Structure 1
Amino acid sequence: MNEAGAWTEERVELLKKLWSDGLSASQIAAELGSVTRNAVIGKVHRLGLSGRAKNPAAASTPRAAAPRKAPTRSPSHPMGGPSSNPGAMTRGANALAPQYAPEPEAQAEPEPAPSEDVVIPFSERVTIMDLREYMCRWPMGDPTTAEFRFCGSRSQTGLPYCSYHSRIAYQPAADRRRDRSKVRA
């Protein structure tokens, strides 16, 4: 510290008095002059000054607990239990998920029925070790079991799947747009 801001005995005593009176480090620095707030904080810690008197104004006027205001808007999650309306509440990772109305079952399109040439016997399915570049890579079964296999039929040129599985995997763009419009309605 420079000569002007040297910690003399008088300045240290004044610091101790102001600190015990409850002044802030900034107020003490202004009172002492030529020292910064950080210098005051450092000196306080080096002196080991800890216990501070409460601000006399704050100690004389006890705080009255202010009454809480009633919420101005309704809560974002209703408090009704699952028995009140099970489909109404969304929780967890789905809290911001869009809610869609269920489609009537009369409009549901039937899934394409596999033709006879697409049904592959288990003995003709291939494991990952037997899979070749020209074979269909459509997974069949549970990957965690030993019975997991791939379709293995002849794949279409440039595609990883046979013609049947390509129709499932790749939908025309018009069909995808139509499906989205059903969801929004």
Structure 2
Amino acid sequence: MCRQAASAPGWLAEGAMSNNDWTPERIAALMALWSEELPTSEIGRRLGITKNAVIGKVHRLGLPKRRQSPKQDLEPADVIRLDNLSADMCSWPVGNPSDEGFHFCGGPKVLGKPYCAKHCAVAYIKPAKVRGNG
């Protein structure tokens, strides 16, 4: 059985767009929708194409990147540095030790452990239950 190579001229997956399908009107519509900061899936739905076709054309056109959503800071507001870390605080390291913003979690630690409950769940693996032979 002979398969046509993906790079062979004239080969396109069903529903795929070629560069010839991008008319000036369609490109203008893409650019307008992109500037409205609609999700790529919504732009694709409105243009009748896949979101990957949208992403590819945006990249080829060199359109400006989108603003990234601000990442929510899940760490406590108080930054705990080594000199502020007390024996009852979680000593989970946050960040790269060579970076200026490096600090420790500082949350209340679990009795007998160096970390808070959240970081104990990450640091320790629960032992597998041993099955009896009978």
Pick the TM interval, shorter chain: 0.3 to 0.5
TM-score under structure 1 length normalisation: 0.29
Larger CA Rg, structure 1 vs 2:
1
TM-score with structure 2 setting the length: 0.40
